[in-house]
Amino acid sequence: MVVVVGMVVVVDVVVVVGIVVVVGVVIVVEVVVVVGVVVVVGVVVVDMVVMNVVVEVLSVVVVTITNKLTVRNFIMYTNLFKD
């Protein structure tokens, strides 16, 4: 059981890079919920779904910010050459 929990926690830490709060919450949830092997499997599946959602949301946010900056820079750049 300890090994399984350890592996799950390591996977979470690897997948969630730099999001300490999320990792902390996930680990707490696992420690509380992990009672039997079946529950562990369920928790791992939930973790994978949660991690995918978190990663997707973060990537969308990053892409959105990057696109806004790129568009803004492009507009400023083209304005320089209007004269």
The total of structural domains in the chain comes to 1
What sign does the CA torsion over 8, 13, 19, 23 have?
A: positive
Query: Which residue has better confidence, 75 or 14?
Result: 75
Q: Express each pLDDT in 14-68 by its tens digit.
A: 444 444 444 444 444 444 444 444 444 445 555 666 666 666 766 666 666 666 6
Structural domain includes residue 5: no
Contacts of 70 (CB under 8 A, 6+ apart): none
Query: For position 3, what pLDDT does the model report?
Result: 46
Is pTM beyond 0.75? Reply is no
Structural domain includes residue 66: yes
Structural domain includes residue 74: yes
Domain range for 66? 37-83
Residue 43: enclosing H or E segment and its boundaries?
helix 37-80
